[in-house]
Chains A and B, each alone.
Chain A
Amino acid sequence: MESGLTAGFERLLATDQRIEPRDWMPEAYRATLIRQIAQHAHSEIIGMQPEGNWIGRAPSLRRKAILIAKVQDEAGHGLYLYSACETLGVQRADLLDLLHSGQQKYSSIFNYPTLSWADIGAIGWLVDGAAITNQVALCHCSYGPYARAMVRICKEESFHQRQGFDLLSTLAHGTPAQRAMAQDAVDRWWWPSLMMFGPPDDASPHSAQSMAWRIKRHSNDELRQKFVDIVVPQAAAAGLTLPDPELRWNEERGHYDIGAIDWAEFWHVVNGAGPCNRQRMERRTRAHEEGRWVREAAVAHAAKHGERSGAGQASRAGAAA
Chain B
Amino acid sequence: MSRDWPLWEVFVRSRRGLSHIHAGSVHAPDAQMALRNARDLYTRRQEGVSIWVVPSAAVTASSPDEKDPFFAPAADKAYRHPTFYDIPSEVQHL
The answer to whether A and B come from one shared complex is yes
Interface string of B13-57 (1 = CB under 8 A from A): 000000000001111011111010000110011000000101000
Give the complex CA separation of A92 and B25 in angstroms.
12
Chain B: minimal CB distance from A208 (Å): 28
Give the complex CA separation of A108 and B92 in angstroms.
66
Contacting pair B29 A93 (CB below 8 A) = no
Give the complex CA separation of A23 and B61 in angstroms.
12
Known contacts being A76-B41, A92-B4, is A302 close to B33, with CB within 8 Å?
yes
Contacting pair B5 A86 (CB below 8 A) = no
Among residues 283 to 304 in chain A, which have CB atoms less than 8 Å away from a CB atom of chain B?
A: 295, 298-299, 301-302
Contacting pair B32 A83 (CB below 8 A) = no
Q: Which of B3, B27, B30 contacts A309 (CB 8 A)?
A: B30
Contacting pair A301 B30 (CB below 8 A) = yes
Known contacts being A72-B44, A93-B4, is A309 close to B32, with CB within 8 Å?
yes
Number of B residues, CB within 8 Å of A: 25
User: Is B89 interfacial (CB 8 A cutoff)?
Assistant: no
User: Is A244 interfacial (CB 8 A cutoff)?
Assistant: no
Give the complex CA separation of A149 and B41 in angstroms.
12
User: Is A201 interfacial (CB 8 A cutoff)?
Assistant: no
Known contacts being A22-B61, A23-B64, A24-B65, is A298 close to B44, with CB within 8 Å?
no
Chain A: minimal CB distance from B33 (Å): 6
Which residues in A have their C-beta under 8 angstroms from that of B83? none
Contacting pair A76 B44 (CB below 8 A) = yes
Give the complex CA separation of A93 and B6 in angstroms.
12
CB-nearest residue of chain B to A311 = B31
Give the complex CA separation of A149 and B24 in angstroms.
9
Which residues in B have their C-beta under 8 angstroms from that of A302? 29-30, 33
CB-nearest residue of chain B to A297 = B29
The CB with the most chain B CB atoms within 10 A, among A94, A156, A302, is that of: A302
Among residues 265 to 321 in chain A, which have CB atoms less than 8 Å away from a CB atom of chain B?
A: 295, 298-299, 301-302, 305-306, 309-310, 313-314, 317
Number of A residues, CB within 8 Å of B: 32
Q: How many A-B residue pairs have CB under 8 A?
A: 64
User: Is B60 interfacial (CB 8 A cutoff)?
Assistant: no
Give the complex CA separation of A314 and B30 in angstroms.
11
Contacting pair B31 A313 (CB below 8 A) = yes
CB-nearest residue of chain B to A305 = B30
Among residues 142 to 182 in chain A, which have CB atoms less than 8 Å away from a CB atom of chain B?
A: 148-149, 152, 156
CB-nearest residue of chain A to B2 = A91
User: Is A257 interfacial (CB 8 A cutoff)?
Assistant: no
Which residues in B have their C-beta under 8 angstroms from that of A152? 24
Give the complex CA separation of A142 and B81 in angstroms.
32
Which residues in A have their C-beta under 8 angstroms from that of B35? 313
User: Is A222 interfacial (CB 8 A cutoff)?
Assistant: no
Contacting pair A91 B3 (CB below 8 A) = yes
Give the complex CA separation of A106 and B64 in angstroms.
33
Give the complex CA separation of A91 and B45 in angstroms.
28
Which residues in A have their C-beta under 8 angstroms from that of B4? 91-93
User: Is A10 interfacial (CB 8 A cutoff)?
Assistant: no
Which residues in B have their C-beta under 8 angstroms from that of A187? none
Contacting pair A317 B29 (CB below 8 A) = no
Contacting pair B2 A93 (CB below 8 A) = yes
**B residues lining the A interface (CB < 8 Å):** 2-5, 7, 24-27, 29-33, 35, 40-41, 44-45, 52, 54, 61, 63-65
A sample of 5 more A-B contacts (CB under 8 A), given A20-B64, A73-B44, A306-B30, is A298-B33, A299-B5, A299-B29, A301-B29, A305-B30
